[in-house]
Structure 1
Amino acid sequence: MKTKYIDLIEQTYDFPQEEFKLKDNKLQFHGIDLNDLAQRYGTPLKFTYLPKISHNIQRAKGWFNSAIEKHKYAGKYHYCYCTKSSHFEHVLNEALKNDIHIETSSAFDINIVEHLKSTGKITKDTYVICNGFKRDQYVQNIARLINHGHRNCIPIIDNYEEINLLGEVIDGKFKIGIRIASEEEPKFEFYTSRLGIGYKNIVPFYNQSIKPNDQVELKMLHFFINTGIRDTAYYWNELLKCLKVYINLKKVCPTLDSLNIGGGFPIKNSLAFEYDYEYMVDEIIHQIGQACEEAGVDVPNIFTEFGSFTVGESGGNIYEVLYQKQQNDREKWNMINSSFITTMPDSWAISKKFILLSINRWNEEYERVLLGGLTCDSDDYYNSEQHMNAIYLPKYKKDKPLYIGFFNTGAYQETIGGFGGLQHCLIPTPKHILIDKDEHGNINTRVFAEQQTAGEFLSILGYGDKKTDTEHVEDKELQESIKN
């Protein structure tokens, strides 16, 4: 009988895969020995594999450039990274190696842009697309960037008042875009996105508020679908509606020359994941080109804003199973040495699934389990794997450590989880390491952040300096010994 963990994976999925391979019954991720990583740095552990960021950017640029060439599309393609997916400097540094542009969503993003500019990571030619609802500080920061000469900063108008707010603080002419308030899928609790301006109102808005305003130049129409770019009737219908708006707007606005098709590509969330990226890009370019040709207008330059696709597949989490609790006749709970709520908040908040695999002991028998986190919250669990009704892992043995890995966790989890701040039940943020390759293909690792300490929590909570209770006791004893 095939009862080993490796048998289960090979029977259920096409394995090994490009990034996942097995060596000596231990899992490798892009050639990295994860068991060695866990033993060397300890667990829980977060890691970022930086080369994957550049790899995905280059894949997307290749698909779009190939489609543009195939369809003799007259516009250009611009890849933007939306910083909200992961604001970390190491992420931006890696992404910006690939001649890309930036999309922002709030005031402090502009401070990051200014830092990148001051260090030469971006130039005045880099597009900075400013999305989000804009008030006060965000408006001031955008104005400061433009007034200092960054004319390729394009604030995307989200509501009718923003043009006047920006115009009051920006010197001279500036470029803008308009965001379409797209209609959401029927499963949503609301019908129309809270962001942007309705389809039917965009051309009248241009005629009344933008066309007579000599300070403003409309350059971009921004189209965003919350559920991302997917081969569904809903997506294609919304894209065609967007193209009708673009065509009608282009006929009255000669300066309009760009279409931002926001909404990201999906990323791999299972070993059974399938998505034809090349087909989707080809069809998008074809649809846009065909619609513009039939209407007799110039095709737009294409902008995309890929966040999760850029950084998601670079991240992973490694935990150790601390203990197994047999709660009834059927349920075995494997307790990990961290918390799902704090380290993978999307798994709790929106029931998002990640790739889950054992790191070691692949050649041993498996069992059905549930996974529980350390907090006292009943929602701190992870109980199902994509395309499977339960989690199966090598059998728990008290004397044999079991490491498990969650993969493609690189987007949003740190910021949603409050990196460096308070965590639910004061479970510390794990150690975070960065993994890179040199020009010879050698793997290099370094610690980006150590695991949070009790002292750091106490400081945030207002209990004084960053010393722990133990450190305070030692200090007191030292002071007493000096007095004596």
Structure 2
Amino acid sequence: MKTKYIDLIEQTFDFPQKEFTLDDHKLQFHGIDLTKLIAQYGTPLKFTYLPKISENINSAKAWFADAIQKNNYDGKYHYCYCTKSSHFNHVLNEALKNDIHIETSSAFDIDIVENLKAQGKINDETYVISNGFKRDQYVKNIGRLINNGHKNCIAVIDNFEEISLLSQEINGNYNVGIRIASEEEPKFEFYTSRLGIGYKNIVPFYNREIKENPKVNLKMLHFFINTGIRDTAYYWNELSKCMKVYINLKKVCSSLDSLNIGGGFPIKNSLAFEYDYAYMIDEIIQQIKQACDEAGVAVPNIFTEFGSFTVGESGGAIYKVLYQKQQNDREKWNMINSSFITTMPDTWAINKRFIMLPINGWQKEYERVLLGGLTCDSDDYYNSEQHMNAIYLPKYTKDKPLYIGFFNTGAYQETIGGFGGLQHCLIPQPKHILIDRNEAGDIETQLFSAQQTSKDLLSILGYDYGINNSLIESETHITEELIVKQ
């Protein structure tokens, strides 16, 4: 009878896969020796595998190029990175190697744009698509960017007042887009997105606020739905409605030449994940062209704002199972040396599931377990996988450490979790490792951020080091000693 963990995986999935392989019964991720990584840096740790960012960007650009050629599509394609997915410098550095553009969401994003310009990593030809609800500082920063010569900044109008606010800050002419307030799926708690302007109001808004305004050029219509780009009747129906708005707007606005279809490409969340990216892109291009041809208007340039798709599959987290608690005759709790709430907040907030696999122990028998975090919060747990509605791991034994990895966690988890700040129950934030390849293709790693110490957290909390310095140093030593023992 096949009862080993490797048997379970091979019987359930097509394994090994492109990014997941075994070497000496130990898990490899894109050829990275994770056991060696653990030996060098310890756990808990988070990592970013930078080459995966470029790989996904270039895959999408190739799919769009193929679809444009296949459909004799006259418009151009522009790949934008949605910075809110991960604002880190190392992420932007890697993404910008690939001739892409940027989508921003708030005031400080513009400061990042200006920093990148000062470093020569982007220039005035780089599109900066400024999305989001705009007030005060965000409007001022957009105005400063445009006034300083960045004419390829397109402010996407989210509400009726933003035209007048932007016009007060911007000295000359400027380009705008209009975001469609898309209708949500029936299962949502509300009918229409809070973002953007309703379908029926867009053409009247253009005629009222933009058409006769000598400062404003409408260049883009922005379309995005929360459920992402998926092969569903709902998505195709919303895209069709979007095209009707685009065509009606194009007929009264000759400067309109671009359609932004937003983000929403899914990323791999299970070993059973299947998604035909090339088909979806081809179908989108085909439907846009067909609608425009039938209406006798020119096809638009296509913009996308992929965030999770760009950076999500580059990230991972590795934990050690510290202890197993048998709470009753059925439930075994494997306690990890960190917290799910603090390091992967989406698992707690929106019940999101990532790919979870053991790093070692693949030749052991498997058992069904629950995973528990270190905080005293009852919600700090992980109890199922999308592909099997349960967690199975190699059997835990005290004499042989068991390490587990969560993969494709690179989008949103650091910013939602409050990177560098307070963590629930003051559980320290794990160390973060950057992984890259040199010109010879060899793996290179570096420490991006060390694990938080007691001193880091007490400093945020405002404790007086002059009075309690010896206590802090003692607690820091004890914390680090416990980590080493783990």
Contact 1:227–1:263 (CA under 8 A) maintained in structure 2: no
**Shift of residue 263, structure 1, vs aligned partner:** 2.8
Q: Which residue of 2 aligns with 1:478?
A: none
What amino acid maps onto 1:129 in structure 2? I
Secondary structure of the equivalent of 2:155?
strand
| Residues in 1 aligned to 2:161 and 2:217: alpha-carbon distance in whole angstroms | 16
| Residues in 1 aligned to 2:464 and 2:144: alpha-carbon distance in whole angstroms | 37
Contact 1:82–1:305 (CA under 8 A) maintained in structure 2: yes
Please state if 1:419 is matched with 2:416: no
| Residues in 2 aligned to 1:32 and 1:367: alpha-carbon distance in whole angstroms | 27
Q: Which residue of 2 aligns with 1:9?
A: 9
**Shift of residue 36, structure 1, vs aligned partner:** 1.3
What amino acid maps onto 1:269 in structure 2? N
| Residues in 2 aligned to 1:141 and 1:362: alpha-carbon distance in whole angstroms | 53
**Shift of residue 188, structure 1, vs aligned partner:** 0.7
Q: Which residue of 2 aligns with 1:248?
A: 248
Equivalent in 463, 471, 475 of residue 469 of structure 1: 471
| Residues in 2 aligned to 1:32 and 1:10: alpha-carbon distance in whole angstroms | 21
What amino acid maps onto 1:431 in structure 2? K
**Shift of residue 280, structure 1, vs aligned partner:** 0.1
| Residues in 2 aligned to 1:91 and 1:423: alpha-carbon distance in whole angstroms | 23
| Residues in 2 aligned to 1:464 and 1:302: alpha-carbon distance in whole angstroms | 55
| Residues in 1 aligned to 2:305 and 2:453: alpha-carbon distance in whole angstroms | 36
| Residues in 1 aligned to 2:372 and 2:83: alpha-carbon distance in whole angstroms | 31
What amino acid maps onto 1:33 in structure 2? D
What amino acid maps onto 1:363 in structure 2? Q
| Residues in 2 aligned to 1:428 and 1:236: alpha-carbon distance in whole angstroms | 45
**Shift of residue 146, structure 1, vs aligned partner:** 0.2
Deviation per residue, 1:133-158 (Å, 9 max, x gap): 00000000000000000000001000
Q: Which residue of 1 aligns with 2:452?
A: 452
**Shift of residue 98, structure 1, vs aligned partner:** 0.2
Cα distance change, pair 144–468 in 1 and its aligned pair in 2 (3 A): farther
Q: Note the 1:357-396 alignment, pairs <5 A.
A: 357-396=357-396
Q: Which residue of 2 aligns with 1:122?
A: 122
Contact 2:271–2:387 (CA under 8 A) maintained in structure 1: no
Q: Which residue of 2 aligns with 1:314?
A: 314
Deviation per residue, 1:398-454 (Å, 9 max, x gap): 010000000000000000000000011111110000000011101000000000010
Q: Which residue of 1 aligns with 2:354?
A: 354
Contact 1:454–1:468 (CA under 8 A) maintained in structure 2: no
Q: Which residue of 2 aligns with 1:480?
A: none
| Residues in 2 aligned to 1:472 and 1:237: alpha-carbon distance in whole angstroms | 62
| Residues in 2 aligned to 1:473 and 1:359: alpha-carbon distance in whole angstroms | 31
Secondary structure of the equivalent of 2:335?
strand
Secondary structure of the equivalent of 2:169?
coil
**Shift of residue 464, structure 1, vs aligned partner:** 2.7
Q: Which residue of 2 aligns with 1:33?
A: 33
| Residues in 2 aligned to 1:138 and 1:390: alpha-carbon distance in whole angstroms | 45
Contact 2:44–2:320 (CA under 8 A) maintained in structure 1: yes
Deviation per residue, 1:264-310 (Å, 9 max, x gap): 20000000000000000000000000000000000000000000000
What amino acid maps onto 1:397 in structure 2? T
What amino acid maps onto 1:371 in structure 2? L
What amino acid maps onto 2:271 in structure 1? L
Q: Note the 1:224-263 alignment, pairs <5 A.
A: 224-263=224-263
Q: Which residue of 1 aligns with 2:175?
A: 175
**Shift of residue 212, structure 1, vs aligned partner:** 1.1
Q: Which residue of 2 aligns with 1:137?
A: 137
| Residues in 2 aligned to 1:14 and 1:469: alpha-carbon distance in whole angstroms | 54
**Shift of residue 472, structure 1, vs aligned partner:** 7.1
Secondary structure of the equivalent of 1:168?
helix
What amino acid maps onto 2:71 in structure 1? H
**Shift of residue 468, structure 1, vs aligned partner:** 6.6
Contact 1:226–1:263 (CA under 8 A) maintained in structure 2: no
Q: Normalising by structure 2, report the TM-score.
A: 0.96
**Shift of residue 470, structure 1, vs aligned partner:** 4.6
What amino acid maps onto 2:471 in structure 1? D
Contact 2:50–2:94 (CA under 8 A) maintained in structure 1: yes
| Residues in 2 aligned to 1:69 and 1:387: alpha-carbon distance in whole angstroms | 37
| Residues in 2 aligned to 1:109 and 1:139: alpha-carbon distance in whole angstroms | 12
Q: Which residue of 1 aligns with 2:222?
A: 222
**Shift of residue 389, structure 1, vs aligned partner:** 2.4
Q: Which residue of 1 aligns with 2:480?
A: none
| Residues in 2 aligned to 1:332 and 1:40: alpha-carbon distance in whole angstroms | 30
| Residues in 2 aligned to 1:63 and 1:247: alpha-carbon distance in whole angstroms | 25
Deviation per residue, 1:219-275 (Å, 9 max, x gap): 000001111100000000000000000000000000000000013200000000000
Contact 2:13–2:272 (CA under 8 A) maintained in structure 1: yes
Q: Which residue of 2 aligns with 1:405?
A: 405
Deviation per residue, 1:344-382 (Å, 9 max, x gap): 000000000000000001111111000000000000000
**Shift of residue 465, structure 1, vs aligned partner:** 4.2
**Shift of residue 469, structure 1, vs aligned partner:** 2.0
| Residues in 1 aligned to 2:212 and 2:319: alpha-carbon distance in whole angstroms | 60
Q: Normalising by structure 1, report the TM-score.
A: 0.97
Secondary structure of the equivalent of 1:226?
coil
Deviation per residue, 1:99-122 (Å, 9 max, x gap): 000000000000000000000000
| Residues in 2 aligned to 1:272 and 1:109: alpha-carbon distance in whole angstroms | 36
| Residues in 2 aligned to 1:468 and 1:353: alpha-carbon distance in whole angstroms | 42
Pairs aligned (count): 474
| Residues in 2 aligned to 1:10 and 1:394: alpha-carbon distance in whole angstroms | 14
What amino acid maps onto 1:471 in structure 2? E
| Residues in 1 aligned to 2:284 and 2:465: alpha-carbon distance in whole angstroms | 56
Please state if 1:159 is matched with 2:151: no
Secondary structure of the equivalent of 1:17?
coil
| Residues in 2 aligned to 1:63 and 1:300: alpha-carbon distance in whole angstroms | 17
Q: Which residue of 2 aligns with 1:477?
A: none
| Residues in 1 aligned to 2:143 and 2:203: alpha-carbon distance in whole angstroms | 25
Secondary structure of the equivalent of 2:322?
strand
Secondary structure of the equivalent of 1:460?
helix
Contact 1:155–1:176 (CA under 8 A) maintained in structure 2: yes
Cα distance change, pair 470–464 in 1 and its aligned pair in 2 (3 A): closer
Cα distance change, pair 473–201 in 1 and its aligned pair in 2 (3 A): closer
| Residues in 2 aligned to 1:184 and 1:413: alpha-carbon distance in whole angstroms | 25
| Residues in 2 aligned to 1:256 and 1:64: alpha-carbon distance in whole angstroms | 21
| Residues in 2 aligned to 1:465 and 1:193: alpha-carbon distance in whole angstroms | 48
Secondary structure of the equivalent of 2:316?
strand
Q: Which residue of 2 aligns with 1:113?
A: 113
| Root-mean-square deviation over aligned CA pairs | 1.1
What amino acid maps onto 2:248 in structure 1? N
Structure 2 alignment gaps of length 5 or more: 477-486
| Residues in 2 aligned to 1:371 and 1:471: alpha-carbon distance in whole angstroms | 32
Cα distance change, pair 13–473 in 1 and its aligned pair in 2 (3 A): closer
| Residues in 1 aligned to 2:185 and 2:263: alpha-carbon distance in whole angstroms | 14
| Residues in 2 aligned to 1:130 and 1:340: alpha-carbon distance in whole angstroms | 32
Contact 1:5–1:362 (CA under 8 A) maintained in structure 2: yes
Q: Which residue of 2 aligns with 1:43?
A: 43
| Residues in 1 aligned to 2:80 and 2:278: alpha-carbon distance in whole angstroms | 18
Contact 1:455–1:468 (CA under 8 A) maintained in structure 2: no
Secondary structure of the equivalent of 2:120?
coil
What amino acid maps onto 2:276 in structure 1? D
Contact 2:454–2:472 (CA under 8 A) maintained in structure 1: no
